[in-house]
Amino acid sequence: MAISTPICNFGWPAPDFSLQGIDGQIWTPARAKGPKGLVVMFLCNHCPYVQAIAQRLVKDIEKLHEIGVGAIGIMSNDTIRYPEDSFENMKIFAKTHAFGFPYVIDRSQETARAYDAVCTPDFFGFNADLALQYRGRLDSSGRNPAPLDAKRELYLAMKQVAETGQGPQDQVPSMGCSIKWREA
């Protein structure tokens, strides 16, 4: 069942985290951020919504890096019930799709809870001061890739953030598979 993200809470400060990346390094928002902003993305390997956007996501994040916006992908799903999202499979998924950004695991799921992440993919776009300016989608993709001429919503929003520090007022929520929470 697809779910959608809440609307953007402009100015909300990015919660801090310290998470292990598939590169063996520890990543924080301050370390992942570029001089003009940061995109925090909740992703996973098995979600058809993430799979549908992976190629365009990599290209758009590469273009955002060129204008000073950093990015980090966080995998928060329960890897016991969803072994396809395991740390080892994260490495394979990132290599297959040539991720040019850190991909980290949120084993405790505390980071997903702090961000109030609800689905994969879930995008949070912060300005240089790590104040939220975008909570929307990559583009019009769903479970299938969008047309090649689809509006690049995340890229254009974060380009505006990089140039002005402010995100667009009109944002379309992201849609995807729910975060797979561990059972209590």
Could you report the per-residue pLDDT of 155-176, keeping only the tens digit for each? 999 999 999 999 999 999 999 9
* Beta bridge partners of residue 177, listed in sequence order: 2, 120
Tokens of 157: 């929003």
Cα-Cα-Cα-Cα dihedral sign, residues 47, 155, 17, 115: negative
Query: What are the structural domains, with CATH classification, of the chain?
Result: 2-178 (3.40.30.10)
Q: Which pTM was predicted?
A: 0.96
Residue 6 pLDDT class (50, 70, 90 cuts)? confident
Give pLDDT tens digits for 108-157. 999 999 999 999 999 999 999 999 999 999 999 888 888 888 899 999 99
The SS3 call for residue 178 is: strand
Give pLDDT tens digits for 23-63. 999 999 999 999 999 999 999 999 999 999 999 999 999 99
Q: Is the separation of the CB atoms in 154 and 124 below 8 Å?
A: no
Residue 2: per-residue pLDDT: 67
